[in-house]
């Protein structure tokens, strides 16, 4: 499993250029069907708009772009290029245009659709999906505080805590941190608390402005 960047949530932003209104929308998707459904939803929402340009990139390798009636190469390809340059995947974008009566020209259209996608991505936010182990530990009540502190200290995020005969904590963390956590728990509990691996999946971590620039 390899980490990848994607969108945090659906994002929307808009701007006006020479009386044309541009509405950019970006959303995380996982399949071509999800991307197509998103594009159809936006077109239905803005049914009276002149154009709804779209693009998407999937982790499985599929890419798509559509000019939706704009001159060839002035809208869909620039939108796709912004997605590719951003490094995100499993992501779809649309830029809807309400024509304002003034022609923008080829260069103006490229700049407008590029800007629309950039605004939408910024509104959606970017997260890094990290491959993480899902784990579980059981501990006596008198060790709960110590165990919870060690999990936090070693980069684990607790997803669920239940209280019965013992305390059960389900958590996730990057696999590289597990050996040190195992040693710390063994030292703190005389070997009484051992993490059990439940599986592996992706968990989101927000990408900082500094990381985006790298």
Q: What is the pLDDT of residue 161?
A: 97
pLDDT over 90 at 207, yes or no: no
Q: What is the pLDDT of residues 5-47, one digit of tens each?
A: 999 999 999 999 999 999 999 999 999 999 999 999 999 999 9
Mean of per-residue pLDDT scores for the chain: 94
128-206: CATH architecture:
2-Layer Sandwich (3.30)
Task: Name the segment(s) of the chain with CATH classification 3.30.70.240.
Answer: 128-206
Distance (Å, whole) CA 124 – CA 11: 4
Which position has the token pair 């490229």?
110
Under the banding of pLDDT at 50, 70 and 90, the label for residue 146 is very high
3-state helix vs strand vs coil in the chain, percent to 5: 35, 35, 25
Query: pTM for this structure?
Result: 0.82
Q: What is the pLDDT of residues 64-94, one digit of tens each?
A: 999 999 999 999 999 999 999 999 999 999 9
**CATH label, 4-124, candidates 3.40.50.970, 1.10.340.30, 3.40.50.1980, 3.30.230.30:** 3.30.230.30
């Amino acid at each position: 499993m390899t980490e990848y960047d994607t969108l945090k949530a659906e994002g929307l932003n808009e701007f006006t250029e020479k009386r044309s209104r541009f509405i950019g929308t970006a959303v995380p998707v996982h399949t071509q069907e999800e991307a197509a459904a998103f594009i159809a939803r936006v077109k239905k929402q803005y049914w009276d708009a002149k154009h709804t340009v779209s693009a998407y990139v999937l982790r499985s390798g599929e890419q798509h772009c559509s000019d939706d009636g704009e001159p060839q190469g002035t809208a869909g390809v620039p939108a796709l290029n912004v997605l590719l340059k951003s490094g995100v995947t499993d992501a779809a974008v649309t830029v809807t245009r309400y024509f304002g009566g003034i022609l923008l020209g080829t260069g103006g259209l490229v700049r407008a659709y590029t800007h629309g996608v950039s605004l939408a991505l910024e509104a959606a936010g970017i997260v890094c999906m990290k491959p993480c182990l899902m784990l579980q530990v059981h501990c006596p009540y008198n060790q709960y505080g110590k165990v919870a502190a060690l999990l936090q200290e070693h980069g684990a995020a607790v997803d669920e805590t239940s209280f019965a005969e013992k305390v059960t904590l389900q958590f996730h963390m990057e696999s590289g941190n597990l050996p040190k956590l195992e040693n710390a728990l063994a030292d703190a509990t005389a070997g009484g608390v051992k993490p059990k691996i439940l599986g592996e999946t992706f968990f989101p971590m927000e990408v900082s402005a500094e990381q985006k620039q790298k």
